[in-house]
Amino acid sequence: MKDFSEYKNVWVFCEQRSGKLMNVALELVGEGHTLSREIGPDCKLVALLVGNNVEGLKDELYSYGADSVYVIEDDLLEHYTTDGYTKVIVDAVNEYKPEIVLFGATHIGRDLAPRVAARLNTGLTADCTRLDIKVSDYMDYLETYTTASLAGLDRDDDNKGLKQTRPAFGGNLMATIVTPNTRPQMATVRPGVMAKREPVNGASGELVRVKPDLRKEDINVELLNVVKAAREMVSLTDAKIICSGGRGLGGPEGFKLIKELADKVGGVVGSSRAAVDAGWIDPSHQVGQTGTTVKPDIYFACGISGAIQHQAGMSDSRIIVAINKDPDCPMMKLADYAVEGDLYKVIPEIIALWDEVREG
């Protein structure tokens, strides 16, 4: 066993875009705070802030659980570049030697973290959905949610290594990854999975200004333009979430509500054959035997009774939520979650509660 005693603290790379912190940064500050306390009393949660004129974000980070905020600021860090951010983060890691470094698994996090890990010659685990320090907590998780055997695990084991759990094989398989022989232990973490802490107003902590050693020549990619765009229309086949409406909508105006739901949950609008035949929506939205076959993570079936032709196109969905007045219709039997009720009353509530429950 190598001696890692000089590696201390849990770091979270707190991604900001245009001076605004990404949600996942606050989620990771919360998760990292918990992990740091499990490692030991001397272990701190360090929020790493990289950019230009971003120091002002420190109070927000303290309030969500950061013990320290390390700020690296430079004109050249105004916009994200792989080269610039990699260089300053690697330099900081080499100087301060954190035990764990976490990144949000955003497009930027997944661009940056592999580059940093490769330069540091350490391990990196992608897109984690669970992190554990305490073996007993990890065992509880395995027992409750998985089919894993607990053989070889010991509740009293006080190994403080980071157990990084992530889906693989398209979510069919879960794997827990460890980084036993190198430090820091690095992971990217899926946005929306970890819980933020309740913010403490007026919280404060240590501030460390890290001097970057960065020249223009270090950056090989030139940013020409940034375009903010609404999410492009995803096809039904590729959609992770589909909100479908059927005969139970009662008319074409029902699809306005379905569209609102889809916009809220980041999904795509689907429909049953009945709604298409009634002329309520374009046939390109049709899911089923004569329409598109889909396999989303979540399928909302709103006012769809679930004829076999419709089921043929969506029964492989990972989670099916049915909203229907008729508790005995086939879709309510097929569903993982059957919500009995008037979809015009239920869906607005789901829209209203979505952000609160999801981020709470």
Residues 7-66 touching other proteins, rule: CB under 8 A, are none
Least separation in angstroms between residue 178's CB and other proteins is 4
| 146 is an interface residue for other proteins by CB under 8 A | yes
Check residue 333 for interaction with other proteins (CB under 8 A): yes
Q: How far is the CB of 142 from other proteins (least distance, A)?
A: 7
Whole-angstrom Cα distance, residue 314 to residue 290? 12
Per CB under 8 A, 3 contacts other proteins: no
Distance CA 184, CA 129 (A): 19
Q: Which residue has the tokens 């789901």?
A: 350
Note whether 207 binds other proteins by CB under 8 A.
Answer: no
Number of residues near other proteins (by CB under 8 A): 96
Cα 37 from Cα 141, distance rounded (Å): 19
Instruction: From 32-40, 57-65, 175-183, 208-216, give the range in contact with other proteins by CB under 8 A.
Output: 175-183
Q: In this complex, which beta carbon is closest to other proteins, that of residue 77 or of residue 124? A: 124
d(CA 252, CA 7): 61
| Binds other proteins (CB under 8 A): choice among 125, 271, 305, 324 | 125
Alpha carbons 190 and 313: distance in angstroms, whole number: 29
Kindly compute the dihedral angle of the four CA atoms of residues 175, 176, 179, 184, in this order, to the nearest 10 degrees: 110
Amino acid at 249: L
Structure tokens, 108: 């930027």
Minimal distance in Å, beta carbon 119 to other proteins? 6
- Given the complex with other proteins, which of 278 and 346 has the nearer CB atom? 346
Among residues 40 and 171, whose Cβ is nearest to other proteins?
171
- What burial class does residue 228 get, using C-beta atoms within 10 Å of its C-beta: 0-12 exposed, 13-18 middle, 19+ buried? exposed
Partners of residue 143 on adjacent β-strands = none
Residues within window 254-313 making contact with other proteins, judged by CB under 8 A: 265, 273, 289-290, 295, 297-298, 308-309, 311-312
Smallest distance from other proteins to CB 350, Å: 5
As a whole number of angstroms, the distance between CA 185 and CA 177 comes to: 10
Candidates 177, 199, 264, 278: give the one binding other proteins (CB under 8 A).
177
Q: Rule CB under 8 A: say whether 203 interacts with other proteins.
A: no
Q: Are 301 and 319 in contact (CB under 8 A)?
A: no
